[in-house]
Structure 1
Amino acid sequence: MATSHLTASLRNLPAFERFQPSTHRFPFAGHVRIATPTRTSFPSFVVKAATVVAPKHTSVKPLGDRVLVKIKDAEEKTEGGILLPTTAQSKPQAGEVVSVGDGKSIGNSKVDIDVKTGAQVVYSKYAGTEVEFNGSKHLILKDDDIIGILETDEVKDLKPLNDRLLIKVAEADEKTAGGLLLTEATKEKPSIGTVIAVGPGPLDEEGNRKSLSITPGNTVLYSKYAGNDFKGKDGSNYIALRATDVIAILS
């Protein structure tokens, strides 16, 4: 008896992807009439992938006492020319002021921000909110987080703002009282130094500047873990801190 072959392909039916094509044999009895299958509707699925689209801004205007700073690129090499991996590159603490807010109100007075557009500034290490703008990294921070203005590459030229001081740190003792040499890890961090520069002073409740009692040339004792540390080009260590972190003036 002759037979006729019918192959049913299910590859293109998403609802039956788990089935394999099969071949069915039918007895041949003259003509075989196969009814045309009716069209069956299968539920369709729409997958929407989450897409993050970076907004394109033409300007960023900081509000109040906030400042927009373009971050200076991190150093990619040591002074000896050795390339640094990303994890070893020191986080920048300097940049250029791009825009400033309208200032803040203290009492009945309106106080303007101390820095102007274009100024090169140094700020606290973990201050502000980082944003991408015009293809570069920027920081929005409060003007009080700005340590000072630095127009050169020399840390000693820093001009502190508000109630901050710039201090040249005394060198750490390299020997114990018994004469033993100390390694860098065991040297005690100094908390004594000479004041290099002082800020104009903090604002009082009426928005007026209150001069600091500390002056350049003073030798001071300060809180051990206060402030922000900097290394000068001559290898000297500097620290910028608030006047309230100074414990005593030594003479």
Structure 2
Amino acid sequence: MATSQLTASSVTVPARNFVSFDGVRPLAVKFASFGTVRPGTLCQRSFKGLVVKAATVVAPKYISIKPLGNRVLVKIKTVEEKTDGGILLPSTAQSKPQGGDVVAVGEGKAIGQTKVDPSVKPGTQVVYSKYAGTELDFNGENHLILKEDDIVGILETDDIKDLKPLNDTVFIKVAEAEEKTAGGLLLTEAAKEKPSIGTVIAVGPGPLDEEGNKKPLSVAPGNTVLYSKYAGNDFKGKDGTSYIALRASDVMAVLS
């Protein structure tokens, strides 16, 4: 049977040659160079490069997990399956949780000759960075093991506005996007520029210096600040207010 040699560094293959995926409709798909490929086999074989990342499953014979160093084990909050009005959400619309309860903590970290204890304890409800840590399936429940530095703050209520930032985290109420242009034209939602200005609501105690002492941050609650446009983690309050939590180093200026 004749074969086709694909020798270019990359090739463009029309999307009609592939199995369709819900919600994904590419015009064309590019692949790195192949060896010999028989016609008609691209849509019949699975691709080794297509990997679905899943949580690491901890075998039932292990009954406990002890984090090391400055790592923290968190039991992930259950994903909401319904809206407040009771409407069932499809899996694609369910927001990935960014919070949970601390189950166990490591022994802390050393800075120079100083040993620093963890700033959270088992039972504390925390919020963490969106893509932090490694997910674990432990005792049939979803957990996350992550570094303490990836914890954004402590949340003792169900509303993100009450977040207490940790370390060098700054918690900001985002300014509302402009509704009109300078000429008075109304803007659609898609045309509204993402704001990068907001009011500081709360700040963490600051990072540690080489002697293990806290270094106060250069911004304070009440400051209006300009921050990096694509930094931090976005949150919505129960009333729809937009917030962002980011590192103090991502705050570029104080406005007055």
Name the TM tier (shorter chain).
0.7 to 0.9
* The 10-residue stretch of structure 1 (173-182 or 128-137) with the greater mean CA deviation from structure 2: 173-182
Q: Which amino acid aligns with 1:142?
A: K
8 Å CA contact retained: 2:226, 2:254? yes
Secondary structure, counterpart of 2:221 in structure 1: coil
CA distance in 2, matches of 1:87, 1:173: 29
Q: Which residue of 2 aligns with 1:63?
A: 68
Q: Which residue of 2 aligns with 1:128?
A: 133
Matched, 1:107 2:112: yes
CA distance in 2, matches of 1:81, 1:170: 30
1:16-31 to structure 2, matched below 5 A, reads: none
Counterpart among 212, 218, 225 of residue 207 in structure 1: 212
CA distance in 1, matches of 2:219, 2:120: 23
Counterpart among 172, 175, 178 of residue 170 in structure 1: 175
Task: Structure 2: state its 5+ residue gaps.
Answer: 1-56
Secondary structure, counterpart of 1:140 in structure 2: strand
Secondary structure, counterpart of 2:254 in structure 1: strand
Q: Which residue of 2 aligns with 1:245?
A: 250
Secondary structure, counterpart of 2:193 in structure 1: coil
CA distance in 2, matches of 1:221, 1:80: 36
**Displacement, 1:206?**
1.6
- Percent identity (aligned): 80
Counterpart among 52, 55, 80 of residue 75 in structure 1: 80
Matched, 1:231 2:240: no
Q: Which residue of 2 aligns with 1:19?
A: none
* Residues 37-79 of structure 1 deviation map (CA, whole Å, 9 limit, x = unaligned): xxxxxxxxxxxxxxx9944311000000000000001111122
Task: Give the alignment's Cα RMSD to 1 decimal.
Answer: 1.3
1:37-48 to structure 2, matched below 5 A, reads: none
Q: Which amino acid aligns with 2:255?
A: L
Secondary structure, counterpart of 2:245 in structure 1: strand
CA distance in 1, matches of 2:110, 2:190: 46
Q: Which amino acid aligns with 2:109?
A: K
CA distance in 1, matches of 2:89, 2:61: 32
CA distance in 2, matches of 1:126, 1:76: 21
CA distance in 1, matches of 2:65, 2:96: 23
**Displacement, 1:81?**
2.1
Matched, 1:141 2:150: no
* Residues 75-108 of structure 1 deviation map (CA, whole Å, 9 limit, x = unaligned): 1112232211112111000000000000111101
Secondary structure, counterpart of 1:69 in structure 2: strand
Give the TM-score normalised by the residue count of structure 2: 0.76
* The 10-residue stretch of structure 1 (180-189 or 92-101) with the greater mean CA deviation from structure 2: 180-189
